[in-house]
């Protein structure tokens, strides 16, 4: 009786394995594909040093075996500032960040309806929620996009606006859960840019 039970169990396991392989083929999912690990040392330097960066990217990224990151920076003069990061899995970009100078608006609505709307294409404001960083930073976040404004130079009326856009994400995940990860990435990248651009207005979290 014991041997029969073992053989039946093995038969069930073989059937389940075959069914899973068939489902993977039909869904075009490579069977037994591992998921890569994103370490803090792998990501763009301009995403900042927050301990939340690598875990946030791991949560957002599609479940693939390899990831790569490409950094862009342009510090030609005191008038222009540009810093960005492109995150890839294979030949497919799944996330991009960008930080640049914008006008230091007097109100949240001026910024949200101006620079933020242009940089992340706010087609439907109802899909975005406002969030605040410290006492002088404000932002908007949706299921796939985030933008954050932090004051930089009072005398030059300049702020830094950081955006994060999620092009592709983990399969089968609910997009609503990504809002905090997008805020974490935007905040860390904004803090890095604030120090990199040598802003004179303190960055507050």
Domain range holding 47?
A: 40-196
- pTM for the full model? 0.77
Same domain, 96 and 11: no
Same domain, 161 and 136: yes
Same domain, 159 and 188: yes
pLDDT of 170 reads: 65
Same domain, 52 and 115: yes
Same domain, 44 and 15: no
Terminal Cα-to-Cα distance of the chain (whole angstroms) = 67
Structure tokens given for 132: 């605040």
Which residues of the chain carry a pLDDT beneath 70? 1-33, 75-78, 122-124, 170-177
Same domain, 74 and 120: yes
Same domain, 46 and 141: yes
Structure tokens given for 46: 């301009």
pLDDT tens-digit series, residues 71-102: 988 865 667 899 999 999 888 899 999 999 98
Residue 176: inside a domain, yes or no?
Answer: yes
């Amino acid at each position: 009786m014991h041997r029969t039970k073992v053989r039946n169990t093995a038969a069930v396991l073989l059937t389940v394995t075959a069914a899973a392989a068939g489902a993977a083929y039909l869904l075009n999912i490579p069977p037994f594909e591992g998921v890569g690990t994103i370490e803090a040392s792998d990501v763009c330097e301009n995403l900042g040093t927050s301990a939340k960066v690598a875990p946030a990217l791991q949560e957002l990224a599609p479940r693939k075996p390899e990831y790569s990151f490409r950094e862009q920076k342009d510090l030609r003069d005191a008038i222009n500032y540009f810093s960005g990061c492109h995150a890839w899995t294979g030949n497919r970009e799944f996330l991009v960040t960008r930080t640049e100078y914008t006008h230091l608006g007097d109100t949240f609505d001026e910024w949200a309806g101006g620079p933020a709307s242009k940089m992340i294409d706010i087609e439907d404001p109802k899909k975005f929620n406002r969030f605040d960083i410290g006492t002088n930073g404000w932002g908007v976040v949706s299921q796939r996009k985030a933008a954050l404004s932090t004051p930089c130079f009072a005398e030059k009326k300049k702020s830094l606006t950081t955006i994060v856009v999620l092009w592709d994400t983990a399969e089968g995940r609910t997009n609503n859960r990504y809002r905090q990860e997008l805020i974490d990435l935007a905040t860390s990248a904004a803090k890095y840019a604030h120090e990199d651009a040598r802003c004179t207005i303190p960055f507050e979290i």
